Protein backbone atom coordinates (compact mmCIF):
# COMPACT_ATOMS: atom_id res chain seq x y z
CA UNK A 1 0.00 0.00 0.00
CA UNK A 2 1.34 3.47 -0.78
CA UNK A 3 1.83 5.64 2.27
CA UNK A 4 0.21 9.03 2.72
CA UNK A 5 2.64 11.94 2.82
CA UNK A 6 1.09 14.52 5.11
CA UNK A 7 3.96 16.86 4.26
CA UNK A 8 2.63 17.12 0.69
CA UNK A 9 -0.43 18.97 2.03
CA UNK A 10 1.74 21.82 3.35
CA UNK A 11 2.40 24.98 1.38
CA UNK A 12 5.33 25.76 3.66
CA UNK A 13 7.11 24.45 6.76
CA UNK A 14 7.25 27.23 9.35
CA UNK A 15 9.00 25.41 12.19
CA UNK A 16 10.94 22.20 11.67
CA UNK A 17 10.93 19.29 14.10
CA UNK A 18 14.54 20.09 15.04
CA UNK A 19 13.74 23.74 15.75
CA UNK A 20 10.79 22.65 17.90
CA UNK A 21 12.95 20.30 19.95
CA UNK A 22 15.62 22.94 20.48
CA UNK A 23 13.20 25.69 21.52
CA UNK A 24 11.27 23.37 23.83
CA UNK A 25 14.49 22.41 25.60
CA UNK A 26 15.17 26.15 26.11
CA UNK A 27 11.64 26.73 27.38
CA UNK A 28 12.06 23.84 29.80
CA UNK A 29 15.19 25.47 31.22
CA UNK A 30 13.62 28.93 31.44
CA UNK A 31 10.50 27.62 33.18
CA UNK A 32 12.49 25.41 35.56
CA UNK A 33 14.78 28.32 36.52
CA UNK A 34 11.87 30.67 37.07
CA UNK A 35 10.14 28.38 39.55
CA UNK A 36 13.34 27.22 41.26
CA UNK A 37 14.32 30.88 41.77
CA UNK A 38 10.99 31.40 43.54
CA UNK A 39 11.67 28.36 45.74
CA UNK A 40 8.85 26.43 44.02
CA UNK A 41 9.59 22.72 43.45
CA UNK A 42 6.20 21.52 42.24
CA UNK A 43 3.79 22.88 39.66
CA UNK A 44 0.51 21.79 38.07
CA UNK A 45 0.42 21.72 34.28
CA UNK A 46 -3.02 22.36 32.84
CA UNK A 47 -3.00 21.31 29.18
CA UNK A 48 -5.60 22.70 26.81
CA UNK A 49 -6.58 19.62 24.81
CA UNK A 50 -6.42 18.45 22.17
CA UNK A 51 -4.10 20.97 20.54
CA UNK A 52 -1.40 21.17 23.22
CA UNK A 53 -0.90 17.47 23.91
CA UNK A 54 2.16 16.96 21.72
CA UNK A 55 3.76 20.15 23.03
CA UNK A 56 3.00 19.32 26.67
CA UNK A 57 4.31 15.77 26.27
CA UNK A 58 7.66 17.14 25.09
CA UNK A 59 7.82 20.20 27.35
CA UNK A 60 7.04 18.35 30.60
CA UNK A 61 10.00 16.05 30.01
CA UNK A 62 12.26 19.12 29.93
CA UNK A 63 11.12 20.35 33.34
CA UNK A 64 13.38 19.62 36.29
CA UNK A 65 10.52 20.10 38.75
CA UNK A 66 7.70 17.96 40.09
CA UNK A 67 4.93 18.44 37.55
CA UNK A 68 1.38 17.21 38.06
CA UNK A 69 -0.86 17.14 34.99
CA UNK A 70 -4.50 17.84 34.28
CA UNK A 71 -6.36 18.73 31.10
CA UNK A 72 -9.07 21.16 30.12
CA UNK A 73 -11.02 20.90 26.88
CA UNK A 74 -12.33 23.94 25.09
CA UNK A 75 -14.31 24.38 21.94
CA UNK A 76 -14.09 27.54 19.91
CA UNK A 77 -13.54 26.34 16.37
CA UNK A 78 -15.77 24.44 14.03
CA UNK A 79 -14.14 22.31 11.36
CA UNK A 80 -12.89 25.33 9.50
CA UNK A 81 -10.27 27.95 10.09
CA UNK A 82 -12.28 30.74 11.66
CA UNK A 83 -13.37 30.94 15.30
CA UNK A 84 -17.09 30.53 15.85
CA UNK A 85 -17.89 32.27 19.07
CA UNK A 86 -16.69 32.60 22.65
CA UNK A 87 -14.66 29.59 23.76
CA UNK A 88 -16.67 27.10 25.77
CA UNK A 89 -15.30 24.68 28.39
CA UNK A 90 -16.45 21.19 27.45
CA UNK A 91 -14.39 19.30 30.06
CA UNK A 92 -13.03 20.98 33.14
CA UNK A 93 -10.01 19.96 35.21
CA UNK A 94 -10.52 17.36 37.95
CA UNK A 95 -7.66 18.44 40.22
CA UNK A 96 -8.11 20.84 43.12
CA UNK A 97 -5.67 23.60 42.19
CA UNK A 98 -6.32 25.82 45.22
CA UNK A 99 -2.93 26.89 46.55
CA UNK A 100 -1.06 25.22 43.65
CA UNK A 101 1.35 26.82 41.19
CA UNK A 102 -0.42 26.40 37.87
CA UNK A 103 1.07 26.61 34.39
CA UNK A 104 -1.65 26.71 31.74
CA UNK A 105 -0.38 25.42 28.39
CA UNK A 106 -1.95 25.89 24.97
CA UNK A 107 -0.78 25.25 21.45
CA UNK A 108 -1.34 28.72 19.99
CA UNK A 109 -2.30 32.19 21.06
CA UNK A 110 -4.40 33.67 18.29
CA UNK A 111 -7.09 36.23 19.15
CA UNK A 112 -6.45 35.62 22.86
CA UNK A 113 -10.05 34.66 23.70
CA UNK A 114 -9.25 31.11 24.78
CA UNK A 115 -6.46 31.94 27.20
CA UNK A 116 -8.22 34.98 28.57
CA UNK A 117 -11.32 32.92 29.32
CA UNK A 118 -9.37 30.01 30.82
CA UNK A 119 -7.26 32.29 32.99
CA UNK A 120 -10.39 33.84 34.48
CA UNK A 121 -11.97 30.40 35.07
CA UNK A 122 -8.82 28.97 36.70
CA UNK A 123 -8.25 32.10 38.83
CA UNK A 124 -11.60 31.48 40.47
CA UNK A 125 -10.20 28.15 41.69
CA UNK A 126 -7.66 30.14 43.76
CA UNK A 127 -4.27 28.81 42.58
CA UNK A 128 -1.27 30.25 44.45
CA UNK A 129 0.13 31.42 41.10
CA UNK A 130 -1.03 31.14 37.51
CA UNK A 131 1.26 31.46 34.50
CA UNK A 132 0.68 30.67 30.85
CA UNK A 133 2.77 29.04 28.14
CA UNK A 134 2.03 28.76 24.41
CA UNK A 135 4.05 27.12 21.69
CA UNK A 136 3.04 29.61 19.00
CA UNK A 137 1.97 33.23 19.10
CA UNK A 138 0.13 34.90 16.20
CA UNK A 139 0.65 38.37 17.67
CA UNK A 140 -0.89 40.15 14.68
CA UNK A 141 -4.33 38.61 15.28
CA UNK A 142 -4.78 39.59 18.91
CA UNK A 143 -8.18 41.13 19.70
CA UNK A 144 -7.74 40.83 23.47
CA UNK A 145 -4.80 42.42 25.22
CA UNK A 146 -3.24 39.23 26.33
CA UNK A 147 0.34 38.03 26.58
CA UNK A 148 1.54 34.59 27.58
CA UNK A 149 4.21 34.28 30.28
CA UNK A 150 6.16 31.94 27.95
CA UNK A 151 5.98 31.64 24.18
CA UNK A 152 7.91 29.35 21.84
CA UNK A 153 7.67 31.08 18.47
CA UNK A 154 6.00 34.18 17.07
CA UNK A 155 4.48 33.28 13.70
CA UNK A 156 2.74 35.20 10.90
CA UNK A 157 -1.03 35.26 10.41
CA UNK A 158 -1.46 31.99 8.56
CA UNK A 159 -3.49 28.94 9.47
CA UNK A 160 -1.00 26.37 10.70
CA UNK A 161 -1.17 22.66 11.41
CA UNK A 162 1.04 19.96 12.86
CA UNK A 163 2.65 19.05 16.17
CA UNK A 164 -0.78 18.87 17.81
CA UNK A 165 -2.54 21.56 15.79
CA UNK A 166 -5.28 20.36 13.52
CA UNK A 167 -7.49 21.25 10.67
CA UNK A 168 -10.79 19.34 11.00
CA UNK A 169 -8.93 16.96 13.37
CA UNK A 170 -6.28 16.09 10.78
CA UNK A 171 -2.54 16.83 10.74
CA UNK A 172 -1.98 16.71 14.52
CA UNK A 173 0.58 13.96 13.91
CA UNK A 174 2.83 16.02 11.64
CA UNK A 175 6.26 16.35 13.32
CA UNK A 176 6.66 20.01 12.26
CA UNK A 177 4.51 23.17 12.10
CA UNK A 178 3.40 24.12 8.62
CA UNK A 179 0.95 26.18 6.62
CA UNK A 180 -1.78 24.08 5.04
CA UNK A 181 -2.15 24.49 1.28
CA UNK A 182 -4.98 27.04 0.76
CA UNK A 183 -7.03 24.75 -1.50
CA UNK A 184 -7.21 22.20 1.34
CA UNK A 185 -8.52 24.66 3.90
CA UNK A 186 -12.16 25.24 3.03
CA UNK A 187 -14.37 23.30 2.82
CA UNK A 188 -12.78 20.08 4.09
CA UNK A 189 -13.76 17.48 1.52
CA UNK A 190 -13.44 14.59 4.03
CA UNK A 191 -16.05 15.97 6.45
Question: Which residues of this protein are in contact with ligand IMP, per CB under 6 A?
Answer: 48, 51, 76-77, 83, 87, 106-114, 159-161, 165
User: Which residues of 101-176 form beta strands (DSSP E)?
Assistant: 101-109, 129-137, 150-154, 160-161
Cα–Cα distance for residue pair 70/92, rounded to 1 Å: 9
CB of 15 to Mg ion, least distance (A): 17
For 12, list phi and psi in degrees, rounded to 5. Answer: -160, 145
Cα–Cα distance for residue pair 90/150, rounded to 1 Å: 25
167 forms bridges with which residues in the sheet? 170
CB of 105 to ligand IMP, least distance (A): 10
Q: CB count, 10 Å around CB of 165?
A: 23
The nearer residue to ligand IMP, 93 or 108, going by C-beta atoms, is: 108
Partner interacting with residue 148 (select from Mg ion, ligand IMP, none; CB below 5-8 Å by kind)? none
| Site of interaction with Mg ion (CB under 5 A) | 51
CB of 131 to ligand IMP, least distance (A): 17
Would residue 80 show up in a list of annotated catalytic residues for this protein? no
Q: CB count, 10 Å around CB of 174?
A: 23
Among the listed residues 58, 106, 107, 110, the single catalytic one is: 110
The nearer residue to Mg ion, 102 or 109, going by C-beta atoms, is: 109
Partner interacting with residue 163 (select from ligand IMP, Mg ion, none; CB below 5-8 Å by kind)? none
The nearer residue to Mg ion, 43 or 74, going by C-beta atoms, is: 74
Per DSSP, the three-state class of 95 is coil
Amino acid sequence: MTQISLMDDLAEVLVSGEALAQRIAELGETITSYYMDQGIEEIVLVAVTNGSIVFVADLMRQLKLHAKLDCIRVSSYRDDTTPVSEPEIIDNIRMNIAGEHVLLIDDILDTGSTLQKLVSVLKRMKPATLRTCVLLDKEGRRTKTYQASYSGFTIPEAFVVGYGLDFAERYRNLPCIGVLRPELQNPPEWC
